[in-house]
Amino acid sequence: MEELKSLFLISPELMLFATAIVTLLVDISSRRRPSDSSPRLVTGFALLGLLGALALSLRSLGFAPTEIFSRALSIDPVSQFIKTLLIFAGIITVLQGSMSREIHDTEKGELYALLVLGTLGMCVMASAVHFLLLFLAYEMAGVTCYVLAAFKRRSSLSSEAGVKLFIHGSLTTILFAIGIVMLYGIGKSFNILDIRTQLTSATMPTGYLWVAFGLIFVALAGRLAIFPFHFLAPDIVEGAPSPVSSFFSVSSCIAGMAFALRLCIHIFSAKGDLKWVHLANFEWPDLITAVAAVTMTIGNLTALYQTNLKRLIGYSCIAQVGYLLMGIPVSTHAGIAAVLFSLGTYCVVTLGTFFVIQMVTDSAGSEKITILRGLVWRNPYEGVALCVFLLSLAGLPPLVGFVGRFYILGVVVREKLYWLSIVAAINWVLGLTYYLSMIKQVFSTDAGATAGGPLTTSANFVAKSALAVLLLPTLVLGIYWDPLMNYITRSLGAVAW
């Protein structure tokens, strides 16, 4: 009975694995008897499996915290919330892949399978409390990203992005493994909870802790694209197909933040009354605050000078991750709740931004920012949607991006990290500069901006419906966010971290 219960608790992951296998089998069989409906059939199976996994994940949001498989996995409301975001991102990414003009119909089955397997690895990362399982999940997600980044085999930029990511990923994997071994030397166990027990009950040399933390932090920095490992992200976003750029920017960020919570909160802190207390004489929050400040500043400053649309959004995502990181050093329920809420808003808004940008770049055959000129007059639905997403990323009310930004800034000020709040406020203004510049292009009425007539995009009924699904929380949660924030707060109270 216990084994059956454990299998039920990981039913979203099992559904994802089955979806990847079935998608590949359907793709192979459809190639033997090719027809015009074959791509739609493969897409249908991939989406059906992901929707099933999403339903199972939503059903498990209220489960009490449980450890399964010899305490290797922790099923709790926070990990299930992160899984739900990952699977939702996978659904939108598969929809993007189905309408992408960069990917041939015969390659879409492979693309879907890799996206689903990458999502599976990231979902396991969200729940893993055993370092061996966490390492395997990290590698599973990483390997799929290497292949996906180089998916456009006839593009030199895509091949370059894949090779760079592979070399960087191989290096961070080695350092991650060494960090795990160092922590094993402390706790004589690969279980995160056992290691934390040893760290909190014994006095450890500070230098040893910094080396172990630093080695694992390198792996985290690579996954989140934060300073000093931010330089790869724009190359990957620009070189990879647009669906992969979206997957890398959103899903990798979500999985990376889950990894950050495990590292900073679950291992190197102990749970107290409405907050987590970090280890004595080990001030890891100072490192995270410094990295957050530098990351958001570099991301925003570099985005100001970009002319390639996808590359600009890549630097924007780096800045957004810097904002998200600010809440982790606070180490209170309010701070982590603000991070998780903002993570959900980042997921929806960034997916929506990439969705519209893919439709426009595919249609125009270019990625220059000037292709946005007059978009709202040529395609009102896509133009208005893009403006809503950009304003939300800029953190303007009454959109959901403002709520997340306000919550994080509020907990930072409450913790008296005034210098960090000033840096964040300056970056808020810097971000407004290029977001409003893009919106100015969208509303441009210059001669020639509308000369080409309506811009023909690949937005069919399904794509427009998906865009509406992304717009809805962007607008509604900017006005009425209490239910989601209350759920996240209750979840943090229930976790056994």
Report residue 89 as tokens: 């991102």
What pLDDT does residue 109 have? Answer: 85
The pLDDT score that the predictor gives to residue 64 is 77
Q: How far apart are CA 21 and CA 24, in angstroms?
A: 5
Give Cα separations from 22 to 10, 87, 127, 240 (angstroms): 19, 17, 24, 25
Q: Are 428 and 405 in contact (CB under 8 A)?
A: yes
The whole-angstrom separation of Cα 322 and Cα 227 is 9
The CA-atom distances, in angstroms, between 25 and each of 12, 13, 102, 110 are 20, 19, 23, 10
Q: Tell me: the pLDDT tens digits for 19-67?
A: 999 998 888 887 766 665 667 888 888 999 999 999 998 888 777 778 8
Q: Single out the residue of 321, 352, 347 nearest to residue 463, CA to CA.
A: 352
Q: Per the omega criterion (within 30 degrees of 0), is the bond before 398 cis? A: yes
- pLDDT at residue 192, as a whole number: 86
- Dig out the tokens for 248 from the structure: 């890398």
Contacts of 212 (CB under 8 A, 6+ apart): 179, 182, 183, 186
CB 284 within 8 A of CB 213: yes
Handedness of CA 83, 89, 95, 99 (dihedral sign): negative
Break the chain into its structural domains and give their ranges.
283-497
| pLDDT for res 37 | 61
487: how many CB neighbours lie within 10 A of its CB?
17
| 169 half-sphere exposure, CB direction, 13 A CA radius | 23
Is residue 79 within 8 A of residue 127, CB to CB? The reply is yes
How wide is the angle at C-alpha 354 spanned by C-alphas 352 and 358, nearest 5°? Answer: 120
Take residue 236 and report the two structure tokens written for it: 């990957």
pLDDT for res 41: 84
pLDDT digits 0-9 by tens, 230-250: 778 888 888 888 899 999 889
> CB pairs under 8 A, 24+ apart, for 363-367?
363/455, 363/456, 363/457, 363/458, 364/455, 367/238, 367/308, 367/309, 367/310, 367/311
pLDDT tens across the length of the chain (497 residues):
566 767 778 889 999 999 999 998 888 887 766 665 667 888 888 999 999 999 998 888 777 778 888 888 888 888 899 999 999 999 999 999 888 888 887 778 889 999 999 999 999 998 888 899 999 999 999 899 889 888 887 778 888 888 888 888 888 899 999 999 988 888 788 888 888 888 877 777 788 888 989 899 988 888 888 888 877 888 888 888 889 999 988 999 999 898 888 888 888 887 777 678 777 778 888 899 999 999 999 999 999 888 889 899 999 999 999 999 998 988 888 888 999 999 999 999 999 999 999 989 888 878 888 888 888 888 888 899 999 999 999 988 889 999 999 999 999 998 888 899 999 999 999 999 999 999 999 888 764 555 445 555 555 788 888 899 999 999 999 899 989 998 888 888 777 66
- CA 223 to CA 252: how far, in whole Å? 6
